[in-house]
Amino acid sequence: MGLLDDLKERIVIADGAMGTLLYAHGIDRCFEELNVTKPEEIVHIHEAYIDAGAEVIQTNTYGANYVKLARYGLQDDVKKINEAAVELAKRAAKGRAYVLGTIGGLRSTNKSTISLEEVKRTFREQLYVLLNEGVDGLLLETYYDFEELQTVLSIARKETTLPIIAHVTLHDIGVLQHGMPLAEALTELERLGADVVGLNCHLGPYHMLRSLEEVPIPTRAFLSVYPNASLPQYRDGRFIYETSEQYFEETARAFREQGVRLIGGCCGTTPKHIAAIARALSDRTPVYKKEVRQRHTIIVQEEKQTTAPSLADIARTRRSIIVELDPPKKLGLTTFLEGAKALKEANIDALTLADNSLATPRISNVAVGTIVKQQLGMRPLIHITCRDRNLIGLQSHLMGLYTLGMTDVLALTGDPSKVGDFPGATSVYDLSSFDLISLIRQFNEGLSYSGKPLGQKTNFSIAAAFNPNVRHLDKAVKRLEKKIECGAHYFLTQPLYSEKQIEDVYEATKHLPTPIYIGIMPLTSARNADFLHHEVPGITLSDDIRNRMAMCANDRVQSTKEGLAIAKALIDAAFDLFQGIYLITPFLRYDMTVELVRYIHEKERLAKERTVYYG
């Protein structure tokens, strides 16, 4: 008889949390390392769960992979730690319980932090050790990213015929983090070869029960559930779970009615919780049929219809000019609003507003954008960085922008805090720019990151950044293609200072369907040129340009003229290749950008006259 044979006949009880008990004992470091340094502690916990009624235990290997062990300098000990974990679990089990080799997920909210290739390599290394040590099955748990779980499950299924349990982890009731219904996800896992499918972590019994109400009993696989004890409280610097064992005893019966065959516990659960489950399900009798609650269809309203074309559409049909004018670093908007008004009169399509560029605090671009929109009737293009807001803050920020009617956004990773005025400040980076673009696209589909309906579809027009100032332009173009896949509608480049480079960018990107606004920022002085070249990431100036600015280093008026002349030559180079021009205003010198806007419009007028004349 094996685990699957038992599951065919009855409900099987699994163990609870390993980390919770170690944490309660004052251990707050790499739990997996204890397989080697404190083996008796691990054996004792395994035995406590078996004594409580667990018939299945999992190895202490949730984070025993190269990526997670590297955080503690233990990346070279993957084999040793996993081997020890299996040996300890077997020693504790003594034939009284099945031993599952546990492999945890790597990705969370920021998918870009680890590629699928790295996931595969890391997974295989741990998988082969666990299989070689003779585990009774595999437990794939705490996978927020469904793509990752699909990938590793497919690998595991090809490598072994042992039972495989595949668990997704939900942010919200009944849906995965990108909106896939739980029932659909579990069906797919069953199709990929999982023998047991279900849920673990993040949610407690109440929310997991509600999620399972919409899940039919699988045709081949079995259902499993490992709920958290509750939502944790943060008290005296420690996380505390306070759900009573009696509550677990009550909900265990409810899980049986939902068709669950394997039930254990996750964060916050202890041997007392497992004992309560065992008492509640003492006869272990499963159910073979259930009434599936139909998933409630939520009607998502379509986005507000706007008459104005998007900036991407404008750049496809005619010459388009957008101008960046940074919000001030100090309080007071008089000069800024004077510049914005002058740019409006010069006839630009949008005013772009940076989000604390170079990690330097400025007046909120949302506040400034609201004023520009309401008082001047201009179109604000709001930059959003991943640096300053966590996933919660980013979603709230997007909802606020949409509510204010500001739907033109530029998604950026953002300069790290260490380059700015406060190098000790924390850079958040829950998401990368790729993830943020995907999140905004999901908002346009009416879904939050967790997959929960927003009630309305937004209509954000998504700009993304493009830095051509790199050694290998082809690699930068690959990033553009990836951003297009994520949902980018058009691109704004870093400032370019080479006519040849503009031509190279055109040749490298002409196959893309997505408009590109070429960034041009006039130089104001030789010092400004040297600073940009040597100290600002992503900007490179030619020796010729720096020498031209150096020739007028002590003459402000001549420096301005030379900076404008260089910028106009760059505009000439871009004019017939790109419909979009992105002018970046230096130091609130809006007089310079106004002149460049007028120069572009005059070139456009002359070009049209020539077309009519020769046409």
pLDDT at residue 410 in the model? 98
Among 48, 51, 81, smallest CA distance to 64 is for 81
- Distance (Å) of CA 318 to CA 149, 230, 349, 350, 601: 46, 57, 11, 14, 12
Looking at residues 126-130, what average pLDDT do you find? 98
Provide the 8-state DSSP code for 556: H
How many whole angstroms separate alpha carbon 249 and alpha carbon 52? Answer: 13
Mean pLDDT of 230-251: 70
The sign of the torsion formed by the CA atoms of 182, 188, 189, 195 equals positive
With 0-12 CB in 10 A as exposed, 13-18 as middle and 19+ as buried, what is 593?
Answer: buried
C-alpha angle with apex 113: 108 to 115, nearest 5 degrees?
100
Lowest mean pLDDT among 43-57, 203-217, 220-234, 547-561: 220-234
Buried b (16+ CB within 10 A) or exposed e, 472-504: ebeebbebbeebbebbbbbbbbbbbbbeebbee
Binding residues for Zn(2+): 201, 266-267
Annotated binding site: 201, 266-267
Report the distance separating Cα 248 and Cα 264, nearest Å. Answer: 10
Domains and CATH numbers, the chain: 3-236+250-280 (3.20.20.330), 311-523+573-613 (3.20.20.220)
* CB-based contact 110:144 (threshold 8 Å): no
| Lowest-confidence segment of 12-26, 148-162, 334-348 by average pLDDT | 12-26
Split at pLDDT 50, 70, 90, the class of 239 is: low
Q: What's the whole-model pTM score?
A: 0.81
* 594, two tokens: 């106004």
pLDDT band for 294, please (50, 70, 90 cuts). confident
Q: Are strands 580-584 and 137-143 parallel, antiparallel or unpaired?
A: unpaired
pLDDT tens, position by position, 26-80: 777 899 999 999 999 999 999 999 999 999 999 999 999 999 999 999 999 999 9
DSSP H or E run through 501: helix 499-509
Q: Is 607 left (phi over 0), alpha (psi -120 to 50) or beta?
A: alpha
pLDDT band at 306 (very low <50, low <70, confident <90, very high): low
What pLDDT sits at residue 361? 94
Check residue 453 and report its DSSP letter. Answer: B
Supply the pLDDT for residue 298.
56
